[in-house]
Amino acid sequence: FNLKVDDQTPIPPNAVTFDKLGRAFIDGKPFMPLGVFGLFTDIDLERTAAAGFNCAQIYASFSMHGNTKLPNRVDNIRNRLDKFQELGLKLLFSVNQQLPGYFEGVDEFDGAQGKVPAARRVAELFGSHPALLGYYVSDEVYRSLVPEIVKLREALADADPWHPSWTLTYRMNDLPYYGISGDVIGVDPYPINAMDDEHSKLDGILTEMAGARTTGLPIWVVPQIFNWGVYNHRKPEEFVKTRGPNQKEMIAMPILCAMEGAKGFIFYSYIAFFFHAENIVKGIGPAEWPKVVKMAKVMRSLEDFILSAEPEIPIEIQAQPEGRARARLFHTADGRYALTVVALGPDAVEATIKLPDNVPLLTSETGNTTALGNNIYRFTAPLVDYDILRN
């Protein structure tokens, strides 16, 4: 990948930059992407914002339009960007369909002819819009397409060096090589299967986050909120027997990703709730959405800790069975602490956690952890679960 080094040009407003910790900054302030793979209508964007999210990836970015579709595609897209801005949301503009093999891509855009030139024209036109967060350049494509993603990324970066390209894979054998295709790496562990009983496990998250870290790039992870049944159990009588993540799993998964180094969280997917599931069993998707809203609130409450520049404090954890619980102590410069603990499943676990003596007493939010004295805590969980302890 060809980089352009420029230490002379002032950083423009709304630019997205990164530090060595992988944190995103917008206008000098740390920014934690917390979003969904979403839909672009007013009601969908309003619901996304009301849930506490601050961004959305839209697959149909080239086809976005408002309630009244305008004659010009550029005007339609600008209308949606303005709506994002009005709602306090930022857009991850999807150009991944401009890669070879996609029939959804556009061959012409505002006079630009060809798939990559059309994507470049997007960056030229909308790179200065305050609602733009970045470009989604790949969606789990094969290793052989990486050179094509690089071409796409280079064209975008040349036209708009102030917004990142976000690239996504689940194939661990392709890492770290796949990392040359983006400024930000994404992985998408989806460990909760549609026909799972309650004995799920989160080991796949550890595997994929470890792979993402090999790239050295900032990590915007794609945690699971959807029910796999929307893809492989589409008959209503079958779908009602399936499940997506329960509330504890839905919160534990992104917390575990944060503990493993993620600095952004774009959940897959809003579409599964309000399009796929809704088309199988009317009302079932919206009925499940409050779990997502609660999860978003928990993740937002951890934002200051996830984005803290304070060095990680070593702690001791002993779990039975061994390795089936993970813990991390986050803290901020103003003296706040958050101990996060996650039970990986599939069965019961008990863990003893020893914190440094200078850490103040912490209080459990879920009731899964008990203070034993001398800065020692006991965490117990029968299945996948979590806790957050704060001072």
Torsion of CA 35, 41, 46, 47, to 10 degrees: -70
289-348 per-position pLDDT tens digit: 999 999 999 999 999 999 999 999 999 999 999 999 999 999 999 999 999 999 999 999
* Rounded distance between C-alpha atoms, residue 132 and residue 159, angstroms: 14
Q: What residues are paired with 341 via a beta bridge?
A: 327, 387
74-116 per-position pLDDT tens digit: 999 999 999 999 999 999 999 999 999 999 999 999 999 999 9
How far is residue 62 from each of residues 18, 90, 221, 230, 295, measured CA to CA in Å?
Answer: 27, 16, 24, 25, 30
Where do the structural domains in the chain lie, given as residue ranges?
16-306, 316-390
Q: What residues are paired with 351 via a beta bridge?
A: 319, 379
Q: Does domain 16-306 have CATH number 3.30.1220.10?
A: no
pTM metric for this prediction: 0.97
How far is residue 33 from each of residues 54, 200, 235, measured CA to CA in Å?
Answer: 6, 27, 35
CB contact at 8 A, 339 and 329: yes
Contacts of 234 (CB under 8 A, 6+ apart): 280
When pLDDT is cut at 50, 70 and 90, the band that residue 1 belongs to is low
* Rounded distance between C-alpha atoms, residue 315 and residue 151, angstroms: 44
Give the three-state DSSP class for 100. coil
